[in-house]
């Protein structure tokens, strides 16, 4: 009879703790459960192996036998009979003390190795059911920066079902939100899983976003930079007039309070917009303009 490595079945090391065994079993049983893999013979067989491995490794006495004899289990059979004889009528199978995920299986579901080594003790009990939560679904929603400047609604289709989703303004790129109960259906009457939506946000705007702050470089003509004045600039939600101080230097940064990005789930709160002036040197000067610049240059050189 073929030896079955139960630790390998549960993807564990031999020294795994009880909690690790329980966690691995639930994870794999969920993955290969027949209700979640209908008409999949491979998944069914894998699920039976997982149940069998759990029956052994989650029971201290069975695990001790298994760890002690391993592939030499057949030599244990005679000793096991002798133990039962000396103990009278033998010990009745008591199951896995509720450790199981969903135990609707019988002795026929276990391998010859299990049946011979443990006398066919399945312990699962026909008809024992455990409610199990459905799988979580994951989805990615692609949006542009301008789409999340204000709260909006989107309709998603997940597994043939339409879901009306409200997207709060100010969500971050890579942020994940949970829609409770819109994942996979539960097993044996268990609750549905959740839908986890991750936002992937592109940026087609002229602004750079960092948290709730926006940044933008804006060209400023030399004359306004030198003499001062007022310019109209475009923010993400419209145009505003900005005063320019005389003798403004290149790369000067100004802050426009409240003209940044909305604060997530805080209605009416906004970050700031930071504008950096990029002073543009005039080109295609006329002869008269060149003469004026020469005069200005001489004046500067002579200390006015």
218 CB-near residues (< 8 Å, 6+ apart)? 231, 233, 275, 276, 277, 278
Q: Answer whether 220's CB lies under 8 Å from 231's CB.
A: yes
The one-digit pLDDT tens for each residue of the chain (304 residues) are 466 788 999 999 988 999 999 999 989 988 888 777 878 888 888 888 898 888 889 888 888 888 887 655 445 544 555 455 555 444 433 333 334 444 444 445 556 656 555 555 444 444 345 677 888 888 899 999 999 999 999 888 877 888 888 999 999 999 999 999 988 888 888 898 899 999 999 999 999 999 999 999 999 999 999 999 999 999 999 999 999 999 999 999 999 999 999 999 998 999 999 999 999 999 888 999 889 888 888 887 776 5
Span 151-199, pLDDT tens digits: 999 888 877 888 888 999 999 999 999 999 988 888 888 898 899 999 9
Distance (Å, rounded) from C-alpha 8 to C-alpha 34? 21
For the whole prediction, is pTM greater than 0.85?
A: no
Distance (Å, rounded) from C-alpha 79 to C-alpha 272? 79
Report the sign of the C-alpha dihedral through residues 264, 268, 272, 273, in that order: positive
Q: Supply 4's token pair.
A: 């079955």
Distance (Å, rounded) from C-alpha 73 to C-alpha 133? 37
Distance (Å, rounded) from C-alpha 258 to C-alpha 256? 6
Q: Answer whether 243's CB lies under 8 Å from 233's CB.
A: no
Kindly tell me the burial class for residue 94, based on how many C-beta atoms sit within 10 Å of its own C-beta (0-12, 13-18, 19 or more): exposed
- Output phi, psi for 110, to 5 deg: -100, 155
Q: What is the pLDDT of residue 66?
A: 83
Cα-based torsion angle of the residue sequence 160, 38, 26, 185 in order, rounded to the nearest 10 degrees: 30
CA angle 292, 294, 295 (to 5 degrees): 65
Find the farthest-apart pair of alpha carbons in the chain and give their distance in angstroms, rounded.
120
Contacts by 269-273 with C-beta closer than 8 Å and gap 24+? 270/212, 271/211, 271/212, 271/213, 271/214, 272/212, 272/213, 272/214, 273/207, 273/213, 273/214, 273/215, 273/216, 273/235, 273/236
Q: Answer whether 56's CB lies under 8 Å from 66's CB.
A: yes
């Amino acid at each position: 009879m073929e030896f079955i490595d139960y630790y390998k079945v549960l993807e564990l090391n031999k020294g795994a703790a009880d909690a690790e065994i329980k966690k691995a079993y639930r994870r794999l049983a969920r993955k290969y459960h027949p209700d979640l893999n209908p008409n999949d013979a491979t998944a069914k067989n894998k699920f039976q192996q997982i149940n069998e491995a759990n029956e052994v490794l989650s029971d201290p006495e069975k695990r001790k036998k298994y760890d002690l004899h391993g592939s030499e289990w057949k030599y244990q059979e005679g000793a096991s009979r002798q133990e039962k004889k000396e103990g009278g009528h033998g010990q009745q199978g008591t199951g896995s003390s509720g450790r199981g995920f969903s135990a609707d299986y019988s002795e026929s579901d276990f391998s010859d190795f299990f049946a011979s080594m443990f006398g066919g003790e399945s312990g699962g009990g026909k008809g024992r059911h455990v409610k199990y939560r459905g799988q979580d679904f994951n989805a990615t929603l692609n949006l542009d920066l301008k789409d999340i400047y204000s709260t909006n609604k989107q309709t998603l289709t997940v597994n043939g079902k339409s879901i009306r989703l409200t997207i709060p303004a100010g969500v971050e790129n890579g942020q994940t939100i949970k829609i409770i109960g819109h994942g996979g259906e539960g097993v044996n009457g268990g609750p549905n899983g959740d839908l986890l939506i991750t936002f992937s946000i592109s940026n087609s705007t002229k602004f750079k976003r960092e948290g709730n702050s926006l940044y933008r470089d804006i060209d400023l003509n030399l004359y306004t930079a030198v003499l001062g004045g007022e310019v109209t600039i475009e923010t993400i939600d419209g145009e505003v007039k900005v005063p320019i101080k005389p003798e403004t230097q290149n790369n000067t940064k100004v802050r426009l309070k409240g003209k940044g990005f909305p604060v997530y789930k805080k209605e009416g709160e906004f970050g700031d917009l930071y504008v950096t002036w990029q002073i543009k040197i005039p080109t295609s000067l006329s002869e008269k303009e060149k003469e004026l610049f020469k005069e200005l240059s001489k004046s500067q050189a002579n200390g006015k």
